[in-house]
Each structure stands twice: as structure tokens, then as C-alpha cells.
Structure 1
Amino acid sequence: MATGTPRDAPPPFNKPSANAIIRTSDGVDFRVQQAILMEASTVFADMFSLPATAPGQRRQQREDDDQEYRDGIPVIPVTESSKTMDVLLRHCYPLARPLPILATDLCNALVASRKYMIDHLEMELKGVFFACAHRFPLSCYALASAQSGWEEEMKIAAKAALRVPFMFGYVVAEMRYMSASAYVWLQSYHTNCANAASSAILCSGPPHLSLPLQTLDGWDYVFLLCDHEERIQDRVVSAILINQLNRILDVESWFVDYLIALSNLVLQAPLASFTGLLETYSRKGALTLCINCAEKVHDHMAKFTNLLIAAVQRAVNEVPLQLHD
């Protein structure tokens, strides 16, 4: 607990009509109404074992009373910081309820919501955690791994971390809270997902590259068919083997380059966005095909890319996240 003279919390937790004071670990006094907190949380109800005073009433401390008072109001010390307690109390009172944005503040508030059994706040914070994990996945994973029983949150953050590269030795500040085992679990999961995602796009094997069957739903794509006389450039093709059909397809070489680029991309970040590469290679395709096919190439590429994305997601979903040694 903080030492020194405590300071008052900001409104509305500084009213003289309060009949209890919650003092945080950083020395901030929240003046509250016991009845409101007791309705919101059974844990708070157990904390307020003293008979409540009437609003504005002050209690005189007896010599044999070791309860601390301030202005005649009983003081209850807690281990939470003022930032965390402010979030908690605002969800007990009928007030505006801003939620924390930073990963550390969010996790602290989620820990407190569970400690004090404020179920509606926990549900709100879990939704915010999901959004926060997509913005700060490594931070959220590290903080979740430092808590007991937070496997669900670890899995959410680990899955979100697949959208960004996770190179060996890369750290964020919150990683100081997690164990070496948790770091290895995440790195191993990221690597296994990267390999699975890459194989879902393109497989290498002599003498041809192989395209998994589930990513091809037909043969009417312009990057397979355009061999018209009015092509802007002579056709340059590469062969791709469809193992399941035992068939080799001649496709546009720029399309094979697209597959290779995507395969390399997911080796760095298994669930990375394909949008940038899709736009780049659609433009390249439009510069080589006939006018009619060039008009269709972006739509055909987008349709095929959606199949690739679904294949990658299926492959990643089959990779387990190891959370135990």
C-alpha cells in the first residue's frame, strides 16, 4: 500500500455523503455508498462487515477499534490501483462506463472484475480483450499467460498474433511478466501455423510446384485460360501439379509468382492480409492478358484468393496451441 497522505478520487467518488472509503494501493480514497456496491458484488457485501452509517453520519473511533477511519468514515484498503478501481466502481454505479484501452490496464480490470465477481463487467471486458488482442496480440498474450486460468485469453491472443510476424528474439514490454515456457509455446504455435498455412497455398516438390485441390473449384479462371491472339503480351506459363487429379496445369507465370509471394507471406505471418499482394498481382495480370480477360482478372483473382484464405484458416485451425510443458 502507498504511504503518505491519501488523496481523494475524482467525482463522483469524492462526495461527503459516502458511508465507506475504498483506499487503493496507490493511496487514492474512493468515497462510496455501501448499499450500491453490495448490490453489485457479493464480495463487496462481505467486505462491508461493519454496520453502515447513514449518509453524512460520522462514526467516532473507540480505543479498542483497530478499524481505520477518515472523517468518521470506515476505510477499506484494497490491492488494486486507482485506475483499476475507477473502472470497477463505474460499473457498479449508474455512470458513464469508459473501458480501458491499453492491454495492461485492461487485464488488471479483468482480474479485478473476477476477483469481485462483477459478472457484467467481466463480460464487457472479455469483449474488449478480444478487440485489444487484435491490436496488441503479443502484449495481451504475455499478460494473459501471467494469470492463472487464463487459457481462453491466451488462445485468443495467440491466434491474433498470427496476423503479425513473430521472429525469434522479438519482444514487447509486457513479456517481462511471462515465463520462458509461455514464450516457447507461442513461438512454436506461430511456426507450426506458418508451415501449415504455407502448405495450404503451395507445396513444393519435384519437378513441379503443387497446388492443393481444395483451393481450386473450377477451370474457368482467366489465369488458366487466356490464350487469345489479342493478348497484350505473349503467354508465359508455368506448370502446376494437382496431385489429387494427377494433372499438370499451365498457368500464367505471374500467377505462380503470386502464389509464391503469398506462401512466403504466411511463413512470416500465417493470417496476414492478402489484400496488398492481390492488388499488385491483379494489376500485373491485367498488363499481360487480352482486353476481355484483363477486365475479369481482378474478380477472378479475388474469388480464388478467398478460397486460399479459407484453406489457410482451415489449416491453421487444425494446429493446436500447447499450453503445458
Structure 2
Amino acid sequence: MAFSLKFKSSPKTLTQSGESSHPRTADAPFNDQATGADIILRTSDEVIFYTHKLILSFASPFFQDMFRLPQPTGTAGQIAVVDISEDSRTLEFILRFCYPFPPPTFKTVSEIRCVLEAALKYDMAGVRAFAETSLNSVIDENPLDAFVIACRCDREDICRLAARRLLKYSMRTFQSEELRNLTAYQYNKLTQWHASCCLAAYGVVSGRYWFESCDILRRTSNCSKCWMQDPGLTQWYAPPPLWAYLGRARDALAYCPSSVTVASGNVLGSKDSWRTAQYCNYCGVSGTGDYSNAGRYFSELLAREVERVVLEVPIPDFCD
């Protein structure tokens, strides 16, 4: 990896490619040579950081090897300048982690990506570990971006965690600027696996092997209106709200194959949706049938089975 190395005595007269430029100096504590700084790092957005070769060498074998190379001969009082491709925000985070200062807080997922890529580039194990921990912390909030960044940094474990979180979402809703950094091969793997999970989850609702008798599900019924037979013509009977719920769950799982899906408000419905009529003209039973609690219990049965079958779908290696 090539660096542009120059010697200058004043940051106001630093030049690049022979043209005059006026980079600004970084904020404290990287703004002064008085601390014994012996190397300047200049970022892609023209910000200069006064740093120390010793500290950079301890933090990065890459910098250690670079500083061992023969350096151009300067004049007294001049300090070498190294041009790097990272921007000032990324470099500041890296330096604050290497120096005895509290590191700044990540504000965006893209900042995590930039720092993580730089840590890999410069072989900074400590910075990489911190950035990866931060990436793990945003998986629940932003699984798609976390997946893309993990793919770029060859973190298969984080890729898989993020991919499983993405099962709560439809592939049709996947939108992120970070997708620009994902290969078509990796995106295809993700979509194919997601589709396989959809098929597995959809199949649970179509099957009846996981049914069990409970307050809302029976093998027999005294009234075909209060307790309707399974539309699939099996020998299971339930109040109409349960069959309606299974229909909503089936439709949702076709796109979002997650146990969370079947317990969501849109699928489970309101309490009113689990109430039946006050009077049945067929059996003469009067009174409101409230099956909301039983319906929630049934949704938990369904969620467990969805979770089980989806976990059995082989997850690919995204970083191979």
C-alpha cells in the first residue's frame, strides 16, 4: 500500500501533487507538535493530525513496518506528512482508541463500517474488536446494514446473526445505501436462504401435525357454527377467529418467516377479533365468546413451531 510522504514545517503550506492547499488542523489533542509529535497524518478531507510514531507502531504492525523503512531526508525542524485515504472522522476515532482518551461514540452504522475497514487495513486488532462489538450492538436495530458490513469484513458469525434478524422483514422492504457494498453473489445467497425460510414457515400453517387440543381447538364439536371444522377438512374444530388468524399468519409468513411475525399486532389482531357472536341460532347458546387469551396461547404454539422449522433450514456461508 503506497503512502505519500513529504516533509513540511508548517501545516498551512502543505502541498499535494504540486498544488497549494490549506488543510485545517485537527481538534485537540492532535493539533500541536508541542506534545512531541513526530509524524503528521493527513486525511482525504484535508485535515492534519499530529501523532506519534511510537504509539502508532504499538497499535498497528502495519505502521510499525512502514516506519522501519528508509525515510526521505528532511531538514531540521520539519516533520514528515503521510497522506491516508480515510476521512478525518474515521481517523479521529482510530487515534482516540489508540491514545489514552475515551473513544468517540459511533453516530451511524456507516461510521462503524469506515472504522472497521480501516482497522482491518492497518491491522489494528484493538480497534477492530471495539468496532465489531459496536456492530453487534446494532444488529437488532439495523440488521441489513450490519449484515453488509459483516460481509465486507469477513465476519461470518455476525453475518449469520444479522441474517436471522432479517427474517422479521420482507425482502421487498430491503433498502439501504450499504447495499452498494454487497456483492451480487452475497445478496443472492441471502435472498435464496430467506426464500427457503419462507417456504418452511408457510408449510407450518398448512400442516396440522403440531396442533394440540386446547381451549380453542378440539377434535369434536356440538355446533358447526360456534366451532367450525378446519377449512383443510381435517378433524379439528375451532371458533371462526382461529381459522381467520391462521389465514393471516399464512399470508404474513410467506414474506416474513419469523416467530415474531405470528405474534405481531397485524397478524394476531385485536381482542375484538377473537370474540364471537352473542347468540347462536343453531345451538341456542347465548353470551359472548372471548377467545383472546386462548388465541394468544395458540399463537405461541405456532411461533415455537415456526422457529423450529426455520432453524432447520441450512444457512449458507456468506463470506466464502
1:125-172 Cα distance to aligned partner (Å, 9 max, x none): 223223334333333434444x3634334333322222211129x653
Distance 2:239 2:141 in 1: 37
Given candidates 199, 209, 214, the residue that maps to 1:212 is 209
The root-mean-square deviation of aligned C-alpha atoms, in Å, is: 3.6
Distance 2:186 2:180 in 1: 11
**Which amino acid is the alignment partner of residue 202 of structure 2?**
S
Partner residue of 2:307? 313
Partner residue of 1:196? 200
Distance 1:111 1:36 in 2: 20
Q: How does 1:1-325 map to 2 (within 5 A)?
A: 3=16, 4-16=21-33, 17=35, 18-49=37-68, 66=72, 72-145=78-151, 147=152, 149-167=154-172, 171-200=175-204, 202-203=205-206, 210-213=207-210, 216=211, 218-222=212-216, 224=218, 235-239=226-230, 248-271=235-258, 272-273=260-261, 274-277=263-266, 280-288=269-277, 294=290, 297-322=291-316, 323=318
Please give the TM-score of this superposition, normalised by the length of structure 1: 0.74
Task: Quickly say closer, same or farther: Cα 1:311–1:157, change in 2 above 3 A.
Answer: same
* Aligned 8 A contact 1:34 1:48 in 2: yes
* Aligned 8 A contact 1:262 1:277 in 2: no
Distance 1:112 1:118 in 2: 8
Task: Quickly say closer, same or farther: Cα 1:184–1:78, change in 2 above 3 A.
Answer: same
Please give the TM-score of this superposition, normalised by the length of structure 2: 0.75
Distance 2:75 2:255 in 1: 58
Distance 1:99 1:284 in 2: 46
Distance 1:93 1:111 in 2: 19
Distance 2:60 2:277 in 1: 67
Distance 1:165 1:74 in 2: 52
* Aligned 8 A contact 2:59 2:126 in 1: no
Task: Quickly say closer, same or farther: Cα 1:159–1:227, change in 2 above 3 A.
Answer: same
* Aligned 8 A contact 1:211 1:241 in 2: no
Distance 1:312 1:13 in 2: 54
**Which amino acid is the alignment partner of residue 299 of structure 2?**
T
Distance 1:285 1:226 in 2: 20
* Aligned 8 A contact 1:278 1:301 in 2: no
**Which amino acid is the alignment partner of residue 269 of structure 2?**
T
Count the aligned residue pairs.
290
Task: Quickly say closer, same or farther: Cα 1:78–1:305, change in 2 above 3 A.
Answer: same
Distance 2:295 2:130 in 1: 39
**Which amino acid is the alignment partner of residue 310 of structure 2?**
V
Query: Is there any run of 5+ residues in structure 2 with no aligned partner, and where?
Result: 5-14, 279-285
* Aligned 8 A contact 1:142 1:178 in 2: yes
**Which amino acid is the alignment partner of residue 310 of structure 1?**
R
Distance 1:98 1:224 in 2: 59
Distance 1:195 1:161 in 2: 15
**Which amino acid is the alignment partner of residue 84 of structure 2?**
V
**Which amino acid is the alignment partner of residue 215 of structure 2?**
Y
Distance 2:222 2:216 in 1: 11
Identity, % of aligned pairs? 23
* Aligned 8 A contact 2:277 2:287 in 1: no
Query: Is there any run of 5+ residues in structure 1 with no aligned partner, and where?
Result: 51-63, 204-209
